[in-house]
Structure formats: structure tokens, C-alpha cells
Amino acid sequence: MIERNCMKDFLKLLKNPNYLLLWLGQSVSDLGSSINYIGLIWYVMELSGAASGVGGLFIALTLPSILVGPWAGVLVDRFNKKAIIVATDVIRGLIALAMVMTTDITTIYFLVILNGIAQVFFSPAINVAIPRIVDGKDLMTANSLFSTTSSAATLIGPAIGGVLIALHGAKALFLINGISFLMSAFSELWITIPKQEVSKAKEEKSSMVSEMKLGLEYINKHEIVKFVIIFFAVSMLALGGLPILNIILVKEVFQFSAETFGLLMSFSGVGFLVASFCMGKWGKKFSELKLIIAGVAVYGLLYALLAFQQNILLISLMFFFVGFAIVVVDIAYGTYLQVAVEDKMRGRVFSIDIALGNVAALISIALVGVMSDVFGVRTTLVVIGLALCVHAIVATRLGGYNRGNGLLKRIRVNNAVKEK
């Protein structure tokens, strides 16, 4: 009965043609990206001959949002959201196809940075577009459906990727990824995103610097928006380096193969899928901030426990729950900001948020590298996991989630009155 009601909510959303086209496009590109992810990591390790090459890859992944992200948000708020979404998918498709012809690790890093620049325009544009094409009361369900299909891709993609690497090499995965982005762009061509009324005179007089300052001032002025962004950025000081630790843990400590690594990623994908389904059905019943803080605490506890495991079944189970916790935090966090931030400011706020998170992730990568060299991978995992738990407890004691929940209730009541 519960599953049937959840499917009814999803099917109701898919009757919205604009949401359907956006969802279809992203479903295809998500599958391509998920297949590509394991290929990119393995290819970089082959070219560099060391796990340190993956550290360079993650730096290349994070730099664009730090350097370009805040400016991208200003442009997203100014210009046509559909054009940005379509153009960035086309660009990412062409970049993936260019990787097929690349054998140099420096060129790979350069292409990854270009891909990241396109991504920092795409992400805030999507976060602005979804609240415009979906009713406010369906926003959590809409984000959950996006996450469900992304999770399904994460479940299937690494397993497919592991097999394709063994059969055809990593470059076959880049080809699939490139085609998937171009297919996504074609689907998005037919979307209509309603425009928000903006004062032209004010828009023309404002410089990009002043508009970015407006975004920072907006965050600083709205206490609970500032609270959740700072909470997430501090969380990323611990979370940011974990993907590298995962690879080192699986490859060098557990000494698993590429196929087993793909299988563990698929277990995380199952966790993504189950969490997305649960959030679509029950997420609206809970405070977004409570879900964010609890999710971070659970995530930290799981990694602290993972450090002591030897059994492949227990390790797989923990990867499942890690995936579950990630999606709970991701959906609740995105939904909270979509509701709490005014439409005209969403692009800037999301871009600043992403940039702060990636600055923290970059610092985390450096810290994790030093800590794992000095103390070992297992000890580093325990320290990071317990630090996340303490961080969540401190946030709970500050009581920010109670104020945030009250704020969202007031916003939703006001929006419901406006819709009537």
C-alpha cells in the first residue's frame, strides 16, 4: 500500500511534461556519468601509476566550483535557465568524447576542469528550474524522484563500468558518457521553464561583483540559511576526503579488485535507491534540518565502524547504509534551500554554497592525505567518523534545526496562500 502511494506521487509528477522531459534527460546522463565515474578513476590510476593521481583528479573536480562557482550563480540568475541547462549538457558531452582520444593525464585533468566549469553552471540552474516547474507541495517528491533515478544509475553504473573496463578499457566508458549527455540535451530542448519577473533597470545597473556580494549579504542576513550552509561546509571538511580514502581502503587495505570496487559502489547505489524512495514517501513528515544533521551523524558513525571491518558482507552492508545516509542529507539539504531561499537569489546562493563546500573538500583532501600517511587509513577513518558525530551533536545543541523548521513552515503557509 505504501509503495503504491509512493508510485502514485511519482506518476503524478511525471504527468507534468516539463518535469518529465527534465527527468528523462537527467536519467540518461546520470547513467552515463555513473558508468564513467569508475572508468575515470581507474584510467587516472593507470596513467599515474599511483593512488596520488586520484588526489589530483579530485582537486581538478573541485577547483571549478571554488574559482568560478560564485560568478556562475550570478549569471544563472541573470540568464535563461533552459539555455544554460542545454548548453552545459552539450559541452559536457563533447568533453567526454574528447577524453576518448586522450592518453595524457595532464590533458585528462584539464578536461575534468572544463567539465567542472560546465557543471557549476548546470547545478544552480537545475535548482532554480525545479521549483519553477513543480508545485511547492510536491518539491520534496520531485527531488526524491530525481534522486531515485540517480541512485538507480549509481546502482547499475559501476557494475556495468567494471565489466566494460575489463572487456574494452576505460575509454569505452567515456564514449557512453558523451553520448548520454548529448541525449540529455536533446530531451531538455523541449522544456518550458516559467520566467520570474525581475526589474530590468536594476538588473542592468548591477555589476557581477555587486550581485555576488548581494548573494553573500543575503546568506549573512538570513540566519537559518547561514546556519545550514556553514553546517554543511564544516561537514565537508571531514567528508571531502572520504572518496580518496574509500579507494585506498578498498584497493590497498582490503586489497579488493576493480570488479569488487564496482560491486561495493553498487551497494552504495542500492542505499541511494532505497533512501530516495523513503524520502519521496516519508521525507515531508520530518524537519529537513533534523534529517540533515541526523544523516551526517549516521554517516560519521558508519565510517568509524567501517575501519574495523574485514568481512566482505559487513563491508557491503555498510556501503549500503553510507549510500542511504548520503541521499537523506542530499535531498533534505537541497529541498531546504529551494524552499528557504527566494527565487531571484537561488542561483547565487546555491553557487556560493557549492563553492564553500568544495573549498572545504579541497582542504579535506589535503588533511586526509597527511593523516592517512601519519596514522594510517583505518585510524583516519575513525577520527573523521567521530568528528562528524561530534559536529552533529554540537549543531543539535545549538538548536538550529528547530528555528529552521519553524521558518520553513511559515514560508510554506505563505506560498500556499499565494497559490490560492
Amino acid occupying residue 231: F
State residue 386's pLDDT score: 92
- The predicted-structure confidence for 142-171, as pLDDT tens digits, reads as follows 888 887 787 677 677 777 887 888 788 888
pTM, rounded to two decimals: 0.69
pLDDT of residue 222: 85
Buried (b) or exposed (e) across 65-96, using 16+ Cβ within 10 A? bbbbbbbbbbbbbeeebbebbbbbbbbbbbbb
Give the per-residue pLDDT at 52: 62
Torsion of CA 233, 236, 238, 241, to 10 degrees: -150
C-beta separation of 299 from 325 below 8 A: yes
CA 391 to chain CA centroid, Å, is 21
Query: Cα 198–203–206 angle (5° rounding)?
Result: 150
Structure confidence by residue, pLDDT tens digits, 188-218: 888 888 876 554 444 444 566 677 778 888 8
Residue 124, pLDDT score: 82
How is 215-276 classified by DSSP, letter by letter? HHHHHHHSHHHHHHHHHHHHHHHHHTTHHHHHHHIIIIIS---HHHHHHHHHHHHHHHHHHH
Inter-helix orientation angle 377-398/346-375, to 10°:
140
Question: Cell numbers at residue 95, please?
Answer: 568533453
Residue-range domains of the chain with CATH:
2-191+207-419 (1.20.1250.20)
Which one-letter DSSP state was computed for residue 252?
I
Query: On the CB side of 385, how many CA atoms lie within 13 Å of its CA?
Result: 19
Give the whole-angstrom CA distance, residue 114 versus residue 94: 11
Q: Treating both helix axes as pointing N-terminal to C-terminal, what angle do 288-306 and 312-340 enclose, rounded to 10 degrees?
A: 160
Supply 143's cell numbers: 527531488
What distance in Å separates the CA atoms of residue 96 and residue 101, rounded to the nearest whole number?
10
CA dihedral sign of residues 96, 102, 104, 110: negative
- Residue 250's pLDDT is 76
Residue 338 · residue 225 · CB < 8 Å: no
342 closest CA partner among 350, 354, 332: 350
Q: What is the pLDDT of residue 208?
A: 63
Enumerate residue ranges in the chain where pLDDT < 50: 1-2, 199-205, 401, 406, 408, 411-414, 416-420
Distances (CA, A) of 265 to 39, 44, 246, 317, 388: 13, 18, 10, 11, 22
